Amino acid sequence: MTNVGNWPEIDSRVHRSGLWPAFLVGLVFLLLGMAVFAEPAEVAPLGMPLWIIQVIAAYAATLGAVALVILTVVCLVPVNVRHAAADVLPDVPSEPVIQERTWVQRALKYELTRDGEAWCFRPAPNHGLRTLGVAVGFALGSLPVYWGCAIWAIHEYLPGCDWPTATHYGTWAATCLSGLTAIVCTIWTRRHDQTLCSLRIPVNGENLEFSSTTSRGAKAARQRQTIPRELVIAVQLCPCKYVYSMPRGKGTIWAVQGLLVLAAEGGASYQRLPILLTIDVTGAARLMQQLAATLVVPYLYDADSAGWQAEKERAQDRSILRHGGMRS
């Protein structure tokens, strides 16, 4: 343990929770794809060329294998983060701040950069290209599924259409559907990016400028507020079991939430201001560490293994959010 500033700091390993469902999905894709590739005649519709089924099966197996490799590397390569010790501000709550109409980011979209006379915590300017890349990747991922379904449907429902003709027109239909998927994903994601918050930190020690989007019913409005510099006492990262309503039941996402810890008026308690919510645990841990160093305040890291276990226990009876979910 070493002293940095006026508080002790330690190193902790970044803990990743909820990876086993992804392992299971990857394993299913790999095994099922290999089985279908080996025996395509068992699942192919009558008369469909077996190579079409084998292409789809090979693609599914490749997806599963890539996912398993990535998850294995994530689990085997440790990542450490430096943060304030447990006895620094121990009375700050460690549970997340749950709010309606919040969305979990699949990819970390923020950056902390110097812009003239201020540090800016904001959505990365080049995230639009990454969003387009994700949309194109999703469209390419769905292409084999569209392709197989389109070929089967054209052959089945167009009288006199043989398999070579169905393959020709099915390829064009699948390409158009994949392109439409990429366009819709890009538009949807860019609309969500406009609701992300931003924080401006002047280097001369002046007050912080915080901008966020508030929702009232179907309307959304941009809100700006000034945060006195002396009220910012810490930066925090909490584990979060995010439970939201779905058409058929509920959905659960394991994420981390980044917050600014502010001193409340009178000093009786703390006010915590959420600034990010993502499943990218490693990226969020590093980014919040940088933010704490920029603000010269303690970094309260509650997303260690003990913090995740505590979140699992207290979230068992957590109410379901009516509006929310995950976005790229």
What's residue 83's pLDDT?
94
| CA separation for the pair 232, 272 (Å, rounded) | 10
pLDDT of 216: 54
- Return the higher-pLDDT residue of 182 and 254: 254
On whether the CB atoms of residues 249 and 326 are closer than 8 A, the answer is no
pLDDT exceeds cutoff 50 at 50 = yes
pLDDT at 299 over 90: yes
Percent of the chain with pLDDT over 90: 29
Counting residues of the chain whose pLDDT is more than 70, the rounded percentage is 86
Using alpha carbons, list the distances in angstroms from residue 265 to 43, 94, 227, 303: 67, 20, 12, 28
Question: Residue 189's pLDDT is what?
Answer: 67
Point out which residues pair with 123 in neighbouring strands: 110
Residue 191 has pLDDT above 70, yes or no: no
How many Å apart are CA 61 and CA 33, to the nearest integer?
Answer: 4
Residue 292's closest CA among 199, 196, 195?
Answer: 199
Question: Of the ranges 62-66, 198-202, 295-299, 314-318, which one carries the lowest mean pLDDT score?
Answer: 314-318
Write down the mean pLDDT value for the chain: 83
Q: What is the pLDDT of residue 3?
A: 39
In the predicted structure, residue 207 carries a pLDDT above the cut 90: yes
What angle in degrees, to the nearest 10, is found between the helix axes of 163-193 and 127-157?
150
Q: Average pLDDT for residues 241-245, to the nearest whole number?
A: 86
pLDDT in tens, 159-177: 878 888 888 888 888 888 8
CA 104/CA 123 separation, integer angstroms = 14
Range from 29-33, 70-74, 123-127, 268-272 that averages highest in pLDDT: 29-33
**Contact (CB, 8 A) for 143 and 52:** no
Q: What angle do CA 249, 255, 256 make, to 5 degrees?
A: 145
> Which is nearest to 116 in space by CA: 198, 201, 230, 206?
201
Q: What is the pTM of this model?
A: 0.75
Q: Is the pLDDT of residue 156 over 90?
A: no
Give the residue, 25 or 288, on which the prediction is more confident: 288
Whether 48 shows a pLDDT value over 60: the answer reads: yes
Would you say residue 125 has pLDDT above 90? no
Please state the three-class secondary structure of 223-242 as a single string: EEEEECHHHEEEEEEEEEEE
What is d(CA 101, CA 244) in angstroms, rounded to the nearest whole number? Answer: 10
Kindly indicate the confidence band of residue 1, based on its pLDDT and cuts at 50, 70 and 90. Answer: very low
Give the integer Cα–Cα distance in Å for 185 and 109.
16
Give strand pairing partners of 84. 9
Has residue 67 got a pLDDT over 80?
yes
